[in-house]
Structure formats: C-alpha cells, structure tokens
Amino acid sequence: MLESLQALNPFCKHGYVPLTAVPASYRVQTHVKITIAVIVLISVAALLHPLGAAQQYVFNSSADNGPIPSIVHYVYIKKDDDSVLNFHFAHFLTLFASVMYINPSRIYIHTDYSDTDIASAVQNGNTWTRKVLTTFPEIVVFNPVVAPQFAGPNEGRKIDAIQHKSDFIRWDEIAKTGGIYLDWDVVVLQPLTPLLNAGFAFVAGRQYGGAAEDGRINGTINNGAFMTKPNSAMARIMLREQTAGFNGAWEYNLQFLTSVAERLVHIPNQALICDRHAFAPTHWFAESKDALFLANDGRPSPEPSLTNSTDVMDIYDNMVANRRRRLDWEMDLSATYMLHAFGQGQHNNDITPKRILARTSNYGVATWAIVKRMKEEGHVKGHEEEG
C-alpha cells in the first residue's frame, strides 16, 4: 500500500510523508510569509517598472509609429463672391520649397474656386498665378471644399473672418490623409524628414510670446505650420470640439489648439511641441517684419561655402564658418525648419527673384538656395522684379 501511495504522491516518492495535518500556527506563518513575498515582489516591480513606464508600454504597443505622410496641404478660399485667383511670387516660392525639401507625394490646395475659375486663371492670370497652377501638375491637386459659414454652440455664430474659415477647413481635410499643413506665407527651409519620422502623431511649434503682447496669446502654438498623422488624436479632438466651442475671438483657435496639444504631450507619441525658432522665429510687429523683408544698405551677405562631406563634425564646422562670415544685420535661422513669414502680404514687392538672389535682406538670405534652384531648373530667369 505504501508503495502504491508513493507512486501516486510525489512527496512520498522522495521519502517525504506530509500525511498529517499541518498545525494552524504553521499555516498562519506560511500565509504571512507569502503575503510579505508578494508585497516585496510588487515593490520591486514598481521600482523597476513605474506606472509611467507601464503606461508607455501600453500606449506604444498600440501606437502607429510610422511616419507622418509627406502630403502637403494649403487652403485658398474666396474672400467674397467676386474674388479671383491671384498669386504672387511669394506663393510660388512656398510651393516650390515644399517640393524641394519635402518631396511630397501630393500637394492639396483646398479651395472653393470652381474648375472654371481655375481654368480662367491659367489662361488670364499673371505670371506667378500661372506658375502656381501649372508647374507641378503631377502632384498638385485642387480639392473642392465648401467654406463654413457658422460655428459655435448650436452653430449659431457666423464666421466672418476668412482666416477662421480656413482654420476649420484645414482640420477637416488634413484629418483624412494626414500630412503637413502650410499657410501661404510659410516657407520650408530644410528637409522635414527628421520631424516626420520622429514617431509623434502631431508636431507643431510655438510662436512669438513677448512682454508687449497680449498675455492671453503669449507663446501659443502656431497653427500656420503643423504636421499630423491621419485620424490622430489631435485631429479627432479638433474636429469634435473646435466648432462647438468657437466664440468668434481672433485667437480662439490658437488657444484651443495649444490647450489640446499641451495635454496630449502627457500621452506618449501623441504630440511634440517645438520652440518658436523651429517654425515661427519672427513675429507680426513692424520691427520684426521690416527686419525680415527690407533690403539692407551696403554689401550683400556672402554666399555660403558648401561641403560635400557627410561627416557631422565637418558639416558643423562648415556651418559655423559660414555663420562667422555673416553681416551684422543677418538673423540666425539655422534652427528653423519652416519660416512663417508674418507680414508677407505687405511686402510682396520686396519678394522677387532679383531681390532674393541679391542677398540683401534676411528673407532673401533664408530663401536664396530655393530661388537659386528655381533659376537652375529654368523656372525663373533671376532678374524678375515682379512680386
């Protein structure tokens, strides 16, 4: 019989005979030891893997870590019923820069102008209008939209400003495909690939915030240049809430966008907010606009020396050498991915191929390489003075 029990009971098989009841005091001690062991294990786990890390694991396991699509979005809508399509050289410049530095698969121009309006502008528009409409037919797509007229609670507040109408359209459209939204006064100055591949669902940058500015809008996110994945949390929140909360205030969309983005930073991979030098290093006051666009007397800024090296230190040293040769009036835009050139519309006469290639203004120095490429590819002759 004993041999049969040993065959069935592993404890008996090895000579152990726990066949009698364990005393109650032993059972209590065992429970206490187990409880202590569990507490110790939980404490160690908490130290090695705090809640924030655990949350990150959860979010990363489900997050789409693919890049933001290389799709560019512009909005161009009518100010009134009699408006016609009319572009300046500055508009062609931003379009060309997008192609040069982003290499987009598509450029959407979301517009309420009809096909007839566009065809008429191609035939009868000025030089730059025709170039905007016809230079990149393989990637530029005119997407018809209807400009919103009402928003706010119960959609009872009329939207008067064309800029506010554009605010709603840009989110309605970019949420579908993702990509890079650009106002027409934003010029890309270097490749955006590092930002598109950074793993964030939304990337934006702050704009100027100074003591002389209204404190309610200091340091808000600039909504004239941003990037998002399709159907990102930011896009879904903007679509769901910005219309309902619209109050007609000029800075409403800026404040709302900023508050949402700042909250999303807490959630891994959802939002990256760059400092203002990244997208909007200048501002909209006269001293900044004049310093950016107006030509300076004296000799032009020297052309930068180039290097074919791929070594980071060589590239850095070359950049520093170029900066040391700069003139006193030159801005340092080396940390700027995109230049939101506030006041561009007031300075169209200062933005021409000839003036930019002359390298006598900060805007000219910043965009010189773009216009140089235009000239090399035959899009401009370089002596045009029409802005």
Whole-number pLDDT of residue 284: 87
- Quote the pTM value: 0.82
- What average pLDDT does the chain have? 85
Q: 3-class DSSP state for residue 126?
A: coil
Report whether pLDDT(301) > 90.
yes
| Percent of residues, the chain, with pLDDT higher than 70 | 81
Write the DSSP assignment of 154-188 as a string of letters.
GG-EE---HHHHHHHHHHHHHHHH-EEEE-TTEEE
Average pLDDT over residues 302-315: 95
C-alpha span between 290 and 218 (Å, rounded): 21
Report whether pLDDT(305) > 80.
yes
pLDDT digits (tens, 9 = 90+) for 339-378: 999 999 999 999 999 999 999 999 999 999 999 999 999 9
Q: pLDDT band at residue 2, thresholds of 50, 70 and 90?
A: very low
**How far, rounded to the nearest angstrom, does the alpha carbon of residue 329 sit from its chain's CA centroid?**
29
pLDDT digits (tens, 9 = 90+) for 151-167: 877 577 788 888 988 99
Question: Which range has highest mean pLDDT (37-46, 69-78, 160-169)?
Answer: 69-78
- With beta carbons less than 8 A apart as the criterion, state whether 220 and 283 touch: no
Q: pLDDT band at residue 54, thresholds of 50, 70 and 90?
A: very low
pLDDT digits (tens, 9 = 90+) for 214-262: 544 458 999 999 999 999 999 999 999 888 778 878 788 888 999 999 9
36, two tokens: 């202590």
C-alpha span between 101 and 191 (Å, rounded): 5
Whole-number pLDDT of residue 213: 55
Taking the domains of the chain in order of start, what are their residue ranges?
A: 2-48, 71-280, 287-376
Report whether pLDDT(4) > 80.
no
Pairing, β 150-151 against β 157-158: antiparallel
> Residue holding tokens 């390298």?
359
- Rounded to a whole number, what is the distance in angstroms from the first to the last CA of the chain? 107
**How far, rounded to the nearest angstrom, does the alpha carbon of residue 176 sit from its chain's CA centroid?**
16
Give the single-character DSSP code of 193.
H
Assigned CATH class of 71-280: alpha beta
CA distances from 119 to 76, 122, 300 (A): 15, 5, 41
- With beta carbons less than 8 A apart as the criterion, state whether 381 and 375 touch: yes
Q: Which residues are CB-neighbours of 256 under 8 A, at least 6 positions away?
A: 238, 241, 242, 245
- With beta carbons less than 8 A apart as the criterion, state whether 367 and 336 touch: no
Whole-number pLDDT of residue 154: 59
Task: Give me the residues paired with residue 58 across strands.
Answer: none
The candidate with the shortest Cα–Cα distance to 188, out of 294, 347, 72, is 72
Cα 228–Cα 169–Cα 109 angle in degrees, nearest 5: 80
Query: Looking at the chain, which runs of residues are DSSP E strands?
Result: 71-76, 106-111, 140-144, 150-151, 157-158, 179-182, 186-188, 202-205, 225-228, 272-274, 338-340
C-alpha span between 93 and 71 (Å, rounded): 17
- With beta carbons less than 8 A apart as the criterion, state whether 97 and 367 touch: yes
